[in-house]
Amino acid sequence: DALRPVHETFARDPRFNIILLPHNVGKRKAQIAAIRRSAGDMVLNVDSDTILASDVITELVPKMQDPAVGAAMGQLTASNRNESWLTRLIDMEYWLACNEERAAQARFGAVMCCCGPCAMYRRSALVMLLDQYESQFFRGKPSDFGEDRHLTILMLKAGFRTEYVPSAIAATVVPNRLKPYLRQQLRWARSTFRDTLLGLRLLPGLNRFLTLDVVGQNLGPLLLALSVLTALAQLALTGTPPWWTVLMIVAMTMIRCSIVAFRARQLRFLGFSLHTFINIFLLLPL
């Protein structure tokens, strides 16, 4: 029903080919149906709550001119950034994920997750990988999360490079309340850990930095959790506050936020230090 006005508006426009499926089959099945009926050289994946800058395609296509590149993602921002304190934090989180993590990975030709809101794929590569993409199972059931990360891993596994284009801007709606945000983060964490197992087989053929990056992304939260548990044990058993642990976490947080604020030329990133509290007290227990 929600798509009916869209269909009525664009159905007669020859530039669009709208596919109406009989029922809600989920994102992955809908993607596959669209890819199989597509005809161009490139496929641009966009989430339904995402608004693209007018030059996104012209920014992404040059990167895809290299036949060795299988996918390229744009830079994500929060379209509802000013809605709440949480959306402001998430917008900064997206900047960090794109302009630190993805940008660093792209220097070595392997962005480990081309994010779903704005990612361009080489159609010939997609067609080759569709069967593997469609047949992914998790705990004995067809997977219904982590599509973007899994598809990226399949691209890398097939020998293609994946890239990041910071000038291709896409604004997407982010959660404005903690409960939906925590559910989203839990879903993404499950996807990260699950597809890391598949990605481990790729690491010997990739740059050593990417091995360090993948190991750090997966061990980092575990080490932080261990530090917090050790600090709590010290407090419970000895009655002394774990000042060294607290000071170390605070120092690392402020150093990181200060560096990002300097790089981005935006003091607002100093406020991203508040995300540490969410990470320790809300995300880690999940």
Residues 10-65: tens digit of each pLDDT? 888 888 888 888 888 889 999 999 999 998 999 999 998 999 999 999 999 999 99
225 token code pair = 């959790």
Rounded distance, CA 133 to CA 239, Å? Answer: 53
Return the number of other C-beta atoms located less than 10 Å from residue 168's C-beta.
Answer: 24
Whether 1 has a pLDDT exceeding 70, the answer reads no
Whether 151 has a pLDDT exceeding 70, the answer reads yes
Least reliable range by pLDDT among 58-72, 108-122, 182-196 = 182-196
User: Taking residues 91-105, what's their average pLDDT?
Assistant: 97
Least reliable range by pLDDT among 6-15, 70-79, 179-188 = 6-15
* For the chain, percent of residues with pLDDT exceeding 70: 99
Q: Residue 253's closest CA among 234, 274, 225?
A: 274
Higher pLDDT, 194 or 106: 106
What mean pLDDT is reported for the chain?
A: 93
User: Taking residues 253-278, what's their average pLDDT?
Assistant: 96
Which residues, 6+ apart, have CB-to-CB distance to 91 below 8 Å? Answer: 77, 78, 81, 174
Can you give the pLDDT at residue 14? Answer: 87
Domains of the chain (ranges, CATH numbers): 39-206 (3.90.550.10), 220-286 (no CATH)
Q: In what order do the strands lie in the sheet with 161-172?
A: 42-46, 118-122, 69-78, 161-172, 50-52
Can you give the pLDDT at residue 210? Answer: 94
Can you give the pLDDT at residue 82? Answer: 97
> pTM for the full model?
0.93
Q: 171 forms bridges with which residues in the sheet?
A: 51, 77
Whether 2 has a pLDDT exceeding 70, the answer reads no
Condensed to tens digits (0 to 9), the pLDDT of residues 234-261 reads 999 999 999 999 999 999 999 999 999 9
Rounded distance, CA 126 to CA 56, Å? Answer: 20
